[in-house]
């Protein structure tokens, strides 16, 4: 499990010898499997090759993740079997998906935080992970191809892959940047690039990564799980407003309740570079947003939002058309009309969305020019 500890207003932290020694003490004796990206792929801007999501052969990272997650499930470390939950497609044109999970614990993050504070085991940034739930780490390697080290010390930089004991779907994990020092709740390019690279390396179209940002309480961690079918948002018609033949394509969704941008391209560094700049802009304006990474890292959905008093901002999977219900009454009575209304309430207005699209075009031109596309 992963939880986020909020300390004041997230004052920027400066590295010092004492803090580094404290970090080493916290991690002393901790050995986990470590997956290392191949150096050729780590430095290649076109890491998302045509072989991705081909389904011809399971990748090493995909096999590792599913094996570790299944092992935790069989060991009874998950609170329920999410594969036994009832699902249905809600009547309507959008094909929204509803899942009934009466065992879902909406307070799981709080409970996890209390548990970790008692054990005081692993302290990184504001995120504390229970070592028992730590599946493995992912980092950049120096060999030509990917490498799996069965037992190694925790890498200085990279991503912790942590099981979610309260899964929303099969294979639900947290991906936590291995950073001790971080400014306030800001998503950085390197971490977004690593998570996108994980999606590319897994090379399984069922794998979806996501990130939720709320200015008031965001933590720096990503989530991911395997959806058996494309999310409804992935099947919506799109309208392209920026595109280079071999570079970044930017579209907006047509006829969707929440205004959505879709970034796609096989040049990972340029794709992530544009998205990270847009996210930084939204963060600076205290605008909530969600990110959905799909198609093996070649496509990123951005759901910018507004804050509405007494109305909860949706999660990424809800923006994508997947809705979790704890009570049968809500599950049975869910309607497309109600969902459309809820999503529309948090959507940007036309003027704000127009300005955001213009910023996207400006940033994309800048990155494609640098890449020589």
pLDDT the model gives residue 5? 33
pLDDT the model gives residue 237? 97
pLDDT of the chain, 373 residues: tens digit per residue? 333 332 333 223 333 344 445 445 555 567 889 999 987 555 545 555 444 565 678 999 999 999 999 999 999 999 999 999 999 999 999 999 999 999 988 666 545 444 433 333 344 433 444 567 889 999 998 888 899 999 888 887 889 999 999 999 999 999 988 765 455 556 788 899 999 999 999 999 999 999 999 876 656 789 999 999 999 999 999 999 998 766 899 999 999 999 999 999 988 988 999 999 999 999 999 999 999 999 999 999 999 999 887 788 999 999 999 999 999 999 999 999 999 999 999 999 999 999 999 999 998 888 777 766 5
The three-state DSSP-derived secondary structure of 22-78 is: HHHHHHCCCEEEEEEECHHHHCCCCCCCCCCCCCCCCCHHHHHHHHHHHHHHHCCCC
Residue 307's alpha-carbon distances to 172, 192, 286, 357, in angstroms, are: 27, 24, 10, 20
pLDDT the model gives residue 81? 95
| Cα dihedral 129/131/135/141 (nearest 10) | 80
For domain 2-371, give the CATH superfamily: ATP adenylyltransferase (3.30.428.70)
């Amino acid at each position: 499990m992963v939880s986020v500890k909020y300390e004041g207003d997230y004052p920027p932290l400066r590295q010092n010898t004492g803090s580094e020694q404290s970090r080493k003490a916290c991690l002393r004796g901790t050995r986990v499997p470590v997956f290392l990206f191949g150096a050729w792929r780590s430095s290649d801007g076109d890491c998302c090759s045509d072989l991705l999501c081909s389904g011809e052969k399971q990748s090493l990272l995909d096999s590792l993740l599913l094996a570790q997650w299944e092992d935790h499930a069989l060991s009874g470390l998950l609170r329920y079997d999410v594969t036994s939950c009832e699902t249905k497609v809600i009547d309507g044109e959008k094909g929204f998906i509803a899942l009934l999970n009466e065992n879902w614990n909406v307070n799981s993050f709080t409970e996890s935080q209390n548990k970790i504070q008692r054990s005081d085991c692993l302290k990184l940034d504001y995120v504390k992970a229970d070592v028992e739930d730590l599946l493995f780490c992912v980092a950049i390697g120096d060999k030509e191809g990917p490498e799996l080290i069965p037992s190694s010390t925790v890498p200085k930089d990279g991503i912790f892959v942590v099981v979610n004991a309260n899964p929303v779907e099969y294979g639900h994990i947290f991906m936590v940047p291995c950073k001790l020092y971080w400014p306030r709740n800001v998503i950085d390019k390197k971490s977004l690039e690593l998570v996108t690279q994980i999606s590319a390396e897994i090379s399984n179209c069922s794998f979806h990564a996501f990130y939720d940002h709320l200015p008031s309480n965001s933590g720096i961690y990503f989530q991911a799980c395997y959806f058996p079918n494309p999310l409804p948002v992935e099947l919506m018609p799109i309208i392209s407003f920026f595109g280079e033949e071999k570079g970044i394509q930017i579209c907006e969704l047509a006829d969707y309740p929440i205004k959505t941008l879709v970034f796609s391209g096989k040049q990972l560094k340029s794709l992530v570079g544009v998205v990270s700049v847009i996210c930084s802009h939204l963060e600076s304006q205290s605008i909530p947003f969600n990110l959905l990474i799909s198609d093996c890292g070649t496509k990123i959905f951005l759901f910018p939002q507004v804050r509405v008093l007494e109305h909860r901002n949706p999660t990424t999977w809800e923006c994508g058309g997947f809705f979790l219900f704890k009570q049968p009454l809500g599950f049975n009575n869910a309607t497309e009309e109600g969902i459309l209304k809820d999503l529309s309430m948090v959507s940007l207005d036309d003027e704000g969305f127009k300005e955001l699209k213009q910023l996207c075009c400006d940033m994309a031109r800048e990155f494609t020019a640098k890449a020589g596309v």
